[in-house]
Chain A
């Protein structure tokens, strides 16, 4: 079976492209084929996982070369996959959550005339994402990396007739390309330094290169990771990406694609282990993003954007954990998986709410929805409890471990993560209160109704996973499972026992939740957002996404526009002006020369005589001299 892992990619790819080319006849059944393809990948993934788990711990890795992709001189890239415990977990997450979201979308997109195309893009996304995690070569990762970027572009801009959606899609792609610049340069550096871009060889032999090379490589990869995972400073695209259909937000912009950056860092553990500086950069980026994301999450009234801020923040946690080195890799992946469950769950829940509210996303128009949408409410609540880290839920275990490890690394970093946990509790409670509790603030003609089963069943499954995902940590299973890939070392001993640590975290979470309850649960919520001038600066900054767009605008967009305009002008007037100017001068010179050609025979004759005389005089002068 492990020789057939490529089928995981091939099935959704063929189904996606096939349906795209098939045309209108496939409209009626295309979505079913796509869902079955995704499910088939999931089943294969489970079978492969079981087979892998059945092997000895040191034998759990298969590399299989399909064909040579590029070969020229010393440059050699194989189209090969590398199936190991890390890849196996990702395969399950991607195909599992992916299939659930396919099912959900059958209901969500039922009335969209371009539904078939939506499912094609979803399938292509699944194939690209699987390529990314199964790749055995950095260049093949890059193939998947840009493939998911393309799918993300197509899906964010799925409703192309909306200019905002088209703009968001374009922005996502371009910002990601900035990250890709880093990744491309990192791969070139690998080739120039080590002569190979094979992941295993690069990570094994990076130690023989100098630390500065490892640092450069690590920082370039981090730039790539920042782009894909919406980490500061390349975070600005994620909130705009919420223009896409909600299942897309759940699958791509919460559960899977945005975590690719974390995957990249963990997968490149050899490089990051070799450079302290690169690891520190990862921690700093993670910490900043986790706080910025949480801050934004507190200020947004748009339910999807609040969740998107939360996603940024949670990926910040993962990134930070990955930056801790072997003490944190396993926990980064653990949080990534639990987050995949509960965030997908909540996004789909938000989709269900929007479905009920006629696609209104403003939470100030919600309120008291728990009675009209009982299933959505119940499953959303499971996700909510998981993300704030309510004891016993999956998020509790995964976040707890990261905070502990952060304290083991540095007290200030630890305090940052602790603060983040409190703020998470605040903004998620705020979201719950504004959406499901309080009084009705519905607009007229809105009659909320529960979504059909095809949408609620995935919610229930993901809700259950949010509750039970913590089981992966039972007996340190996930740590042991990943150890052959990423290694593991215990973090430094903490000053206080782990149990007390957990108690402190829970207390901070309780404070955050209570504050939110007091602000939004006890007091009525205004159904029109206060103006920017009426709120204090932290809220204002949060609403404007910490002015990320304004900064980009001032630092990048305007200068580029300005340069472009100047260059176009200079090209016409300067370079081409020089050429046409040369032609004009030649023209003028010939204008001057045509004056003597006046057509008068007698003046020509005079010229001839004058010339002849001149020649004569010259001859005489020469002979006489």
Chain B
């Protein structure tokens, strides 16, 4: 029951917030109530985390009720290490976003009630997606997440919001349509043996021909590749990010896009292991292209929000690369990367969002020398930026290196080209930082306000986690590792053994007395 409760809490919050009186006089109450509900959700997710037994692994806190018997669709929830990590990410980020969005100026006479309500709806649906262990339920929730994002971009974004929202929606609907076809196909395949069932555990044991498996895989993968986004399906992301409010961007990139990579892990690798292996050369190639391409495009952007969006394209390339390298090291790295990237991108989007709101422009060229007037903001931007370029000691480094090291054991060229990403990352972050923060103060920026205490309070948790997990990622990895082992053995792969393993006795000897 606790998972249902977890997903229902923010939905209930959304309902309450909608019923509260509108108008600017009540705005603070509304936001406070929303933050209260999201904090409650966070507390519940911590309870889930605490109750999860790492030793035994697998899916826990499961609940199962028949939903549509004829279709074999179940209301079935459960979390494993991977889902748990992403649920935690979601529940951490929503309060952060709500707090940071306190001063967001909404266009026209839009009410803050529905703005925060949509965010809470999104949180509830996302939790459901990460916890669903039934393909049909997953699909329904997967598509449902489009609705809140559509309204969040289309109603509260910048001048181009309608275009961006429609583009986002259509892009993702096309992916969803292909997935729907695959869902129908899954029913046909599983009904062949008599009892149709969409349960993950049943689907994993369904017999299907190689061709069927590959076709169904492609249907799922298309949806996830668009969602993630993987090159060349990424062009909706920069437009959406450039038109959304910073809070929406965070939820979209840090949480909703993770559904794509999460789906690859749970559904593509879980249900279609053979086809995943078959497709891996293509996917790995696209992932490597994403890494380099996203980074190069990021270097050339003038709009800060588009820049951050393109860095995410690059980072998602790493995540997908690690998943499809099929080693426990790289896949655990990818899972951890999803969490770390969520934090790091959230920090980056939020702090740049505050900058942009103060300046009234997102163009890098309109900033310069801000460090002088806003040292705290500059420091936060630097830490967020450094985490984006995977500086060792910050969380994303650990995951990025695991992805690369794992991939290296599988494919040296892929890892070598992907490693170029670390040089390009330094370029896109530092060029942006240098233009925005350093040099002489640009005219018109004299009154630029530094971060206030509420904004610092909103950003602090992400920064603390980024630094903390950089030095001690083990709590996360302990949860992730058993789930990843399961997925990788499902694919029938493992880590290639070292070519000339270190002799243990020799190692013991050298450790005692030097060499």
Contact = CB atoms under 8 A, between A and B. Distances in A.
B106 interface: no
B209 interface: no
B316 interface: no
Interface string A160-187: 1111011101100110011011001101
A564 B423 contact: no
B297 A187 contact: no
A415 interface: no
Interface string B218-253: 000000000000001011000000000000000000
Given A139-B392, A184-B404, 13 more contacts: A69-B398, A75-B329, A75-B406, A146-B392, A150-B386, A163-B439, A166-B434, A166-B439, A181-B419, A194-B498, A196-B502, A204-B502, A564-B296
A485 interface: yes
Contacts of B113: none
B17 interface: no
20 contacts: A60-B514, A69-B471, A69-B474, A72-B329, A73-B484, A75-B402, A79-B471, A146-B392, A174-B426, A181-B420, A185-B416, A189-B408, A191-B405, A198-B507, A201-B502, A201-B510, A201-B511, A567-B293, A567-B297, A568-B297
Given A72-B484, A146-B391, A181-B422, A203 B499 contact: no
A231 B509 CA distance: 35
Given A160-B437, A185-B416, A564 B422 contact: no
Sort chain A's interface into a size bin.
35 or more
A581 to B, nearest CB: 12
B398 to A, nearest CB: 6
A51 interface: no
B371 interface: yes
A192 B501 CA distance: 9
Contact residues of A: prevailing secondary structure = helix
A191 B296 contact: no
A267 B439 CA distance: 40
Interface string B480-508: 11001100000000011111111100110
A200 B409 contact: no
A286 interface: no
A203 B408 contact: no
Contact of B329 (A73, A79, A187, A579): A73
Interface string A458-493: 000000000000000000000000001100000000
Contacts of B431: 170
B514 A200 contact: yes
List the 7 closest pairs (A to B, CB-CB), nearest first. A195-B498, A73-B328, A166-B438, A188-B408, A568-B300, A576-B235, A564-B300
A193 B497 CA distance: 8
B40 interface: no
Contact of A270 (B440, B473, B515): B515
B515 A203 contact: yes
B335 to A, nearest CB: 9
A70 B232 contact: no
A201 B296 CA distance: 38
Contacts of B398: 69-70
B501 A73 contact: no
Interface of A: 58-61, 63, 67-75, 79, 84, 139, 142-143, 145-147, 150, 157, 160-163, 165-167, 169-170, 173-174, 177-178, 180-181, 184-185, 187-189, 191-196, 198, 200-205, 208-209, 213, 270, 484-485, 560, 563-565, 567-568, 571, 575-576, 579, 583
Given A187-B405, A200-B515, A571-B235, A192 B297 contact: no
Interface string B131-162: 00000000000000000000000000000000
Interface of B: 170-171, 232, 234-235, 293, 296-297, 299-301, 327-329, 332-333, 369, 371-372, 386, 391-393, 398, 401-402, 404-406, 408-409, 412, 415-416, 419-420, 422-423, 426-427, 430-431, 434, 437-441, 471-474, 477, 480-481, 484-485, 495-503, 506-507, 509-511, 513-515
B437 A174 contact: no
Contact of B333 (A72, A167, A185, A576): A72
A200 B405 contact: no
A6 B235 CA distance: 48
A212 to B, nearest CB: 12
Contacts of A161: 369, 371-372, 438-441
A184 B419 contact: yes
Nearest to B435: A166
Contacts of A68: 474
A185 B500 CA distance: 17
B500 A73 contact: no
A61 B514 contact: yes
Given A71-B477, A174-B426, A200 B507 contact: yes
B406 A58 contact: no
Given A195-B498, A563-B296, A147 B514 contact: no
A185 B413 CA distance: 11
A194 B472 contact: no
A204 B506 contact: yes
A125 to B, nearest CB: 13
A177 B506 CA distance: 34
B484 to A, nearest CB: 7
A63 B439 CA distance: 45
A560 B299 contact: yes
B300 A160 contact: no
Contacts of A165: 438
Given A188-B404, A201-B507, A568 B301 contact: yes
Nearest to B503: A205
B438 A160 contact: yes
Contacts of A61: 513-514
B409 A157 contact: no
A67 B477 CA distance: 14
B262 to A, nearest CB: 18
Contacts of A142: 392
Contacts of A74: 328-329, 495, 497-498
Given A191-B498, A204-B515, A575-B235, A147 B392 contact: yes
A73 B293 contact: no
Nearest to B335: A72
Given A72-B480, A73-B495, A75-B406, A571 B297 contact: yes
Contacts of B235: 571, 575-576, 579
Most chain A Cβ neighbours within 10 Å, of B369, B401, B471, B473: B401
Contacts of B170: 583
Given A191-B409, A565-B300, A208 B500 contact: yes
Contacts of A60: 514
Contact of A70 (B299, B386, B439, B473): B473
Contacts of A567: 293, 296-297, 300
Given A72-B332, A173-B430, A188 B297 contact: no
Contact of A157 (B438, B471, B515): B438
Given A173-B426, A209-B500, A75 B391 contact: no
B241 to A, nearest CB: 14
Contact of B498 (A79, A192, A198): A192
A520 to B, nearest CB: 37
Contacts of B369: 160-161
A58 to B, nearest CB: 6
Contacts of A187: 401, 405
Contacts of A167: 434
A542 B74 CA distance: 76
Contact of B415 (A174, A188, A202, A579): A188
Contacts of A485: 514
Contacts of B438: 157, 160-161, 163, 165-166
A183 B293 CA distance: 23
Nearest to B431: A170
Contacts of A63: 511
B401 A181 contact: no
A196 B499 CA distance: 11
Among A192, A576, A579, residue most surrounded by chain B Cβ atoms (within 10 Å): A192
